[in-house]
Structure 1
Amino acid sequence: MPAELREHAGRHYAIQFHYALPDDSWAVELSEAVPAPAARPETPNAAAHLPGPAFLVALIPDQDPDLEPTVRTYSPDEHVIPYAIMQWFMELVADQVERCRIAFEQGEPEAVE
């Protein structure tokens, strides 16, 4: 799944979704986006920014409905997250939680993306 990008106050942020096998959970990762390498002729519509290292990760279990989603921080450095970016991140986390719960109720936890 491609990353979702957003600019806020001159900084770029990215959110990525992927499945974290060791946790049996969907991961929603927030990072600062970094400038992409210069565009090449074979990729004329390439993104200007790419996700950087994640500093905030929400894990949403999809195998056990009794497990609650969690949010983890991964950063040796302090990150200031603007409210609008945190709200955007948590809205996408809430959407993913809802999709996982619906899929589990329908008996299709592996079908959530």
Structure 2
Amino acid sequence: MPELRVHAGRHYAVQYHYALPDDAWCVELSEAVPAPAAWAGIPRAETHLPGHAFVVAVIPDEDPSLEPAVRIHGHDEHIVPYEIMRWFMERVAEQVERCRLAFEQEARGAAQ
């Protein structure tokens, strides 16, 4: 489920997915787009959905020697407000911490 946030009248989304080819978690930032009009009558339906990601953080979770990285995507220029980038990077930092804790727990389990 994506996380949505409104800033200065624009909608943004952060969503997570696992990229098997990279053995990494990806945290994506996009400008959110309106949900289909047909959803208007559905209780608790999202009003916006993630659009095309223009910033993606890649967080390896299989090899502790690999560092997280941020990829910038797109042909168009995207202006990302500071508060939105900060919100996104907080989510990235949380995911990095989760992956590092998992590495530590796995290492402790292997040592026992």
TM-score normalised by the chain length of structure 2: 0.91
Q: Which runs of 5+ in 1 are unaligned?
A: 109-113
d(CA) in 2 for partners of 1:82, 1:45? 28
Counterpart residue number, 2:33? 34
Question: Runs of 4 or more off by more than 6 Å in structure 1?
Answer: none
- Tell me the C-alpha RMSD between the 2 structures: 1.2
1:62 matched to which residue of 2? 61
Q: Deviations over 1:52-73 (max 9, x none)?
A: 0000000000001110000001
**Residue matched to 2:73:** 74
Count how many residue pairs are aligned between Structure 1 and Structure 2. Answer: 106
**1:31 partner letter:** S
Change (3 A) 1:40 1:13: closer
Residues 63-105 of structure 1 deviation map (CA, whole Å, 9 limit, x = unaligned) = 0111000000110000000000000000000000000000011
> What's the offset of the Cα at 1:40?
5.4
Matched, 1:18 2:54: no
Partners of 2:88 and 2:54 lie apart in 1 by 12
Percent of residue pairs identical: 69
Distance in 2 (CA, whole Å) between partners of 1:18 and 1:96 is: 11
TM-score by length of 1: 0.90
For 1:53, the aligned partner's letter is H
* CA–CA distance in structure 2, aligned partners of residues 16 and 64 of structure 1: 22
